[in-house]
Amino acid sequence: MHKIIFLIQCDDRKGLLATISQYFYSRGYNILHCQQHSDTRAKRYYMRIELDLDDLKTTRKELQEDFAQFASDLSLTWECHFTDYRNRIAILVSKTSHCLFDLLSRQHEGDLRCDIPLIISNHPNLEYIADQFRIPYYYLPIEKGKKAEQEDKIRTLLAKHDIDLVVLARYMQILTAEFTHEWSGKIINIHHAFLPAFQGANPYMRAYERGVKMIGATAHYASEDLDQGPIIEQDVVRVNHELSPEGLKQVGKDVERQVLSRAVQAHLEHRIIIFDNRTIVFNAEH
For helices 203-210 and 245-268, the axis angle rounded to 10 degrees is: 120
Distance set, CA 141 to CA 89, 169, 213 (Å): 21, 17, 37
- Cβ–Cβ < 8 Å for 4, 50: yes
Catalytic residue among 52, 162, 227, 254: 227
Whether residue 196 is preceded by a cis peptide bond, meaning omega within 30 degrees of 0, is: yes
Q: Where are the alpha helices (DSSP H) in 54-176?
A: 60-74, 98-109, 127-132, 147-160
Q: How are beta strands 77-82 and 187-191 bridged, if at all?
A: unpaired
Single-letter code of the amino acid located at 125: N
DSSP string for residues in 40-62:
TTTTEEEEEEEEEGGG--S-HHH
Q: How far apart are CA 223 and CA 187, in angstroms?
A: 8
Q: How are beta strands 44-52 and 31-39 bridged, if at all?
A: antiparallel
For helices 98-109 and 245-268, the axis angle rounded to 10 degrees is: 40
Half-sphere exposure of 139 (CA within 13 A, CB side): 8
- Cβ–Cβ < 8 Å for 94, 100: no
- Cβ–Cβ < 8 Å for 208, 187: no
For the question of residue 254 being annotated catalytic, the response is: no
Residues labelled as active-site residues: 227
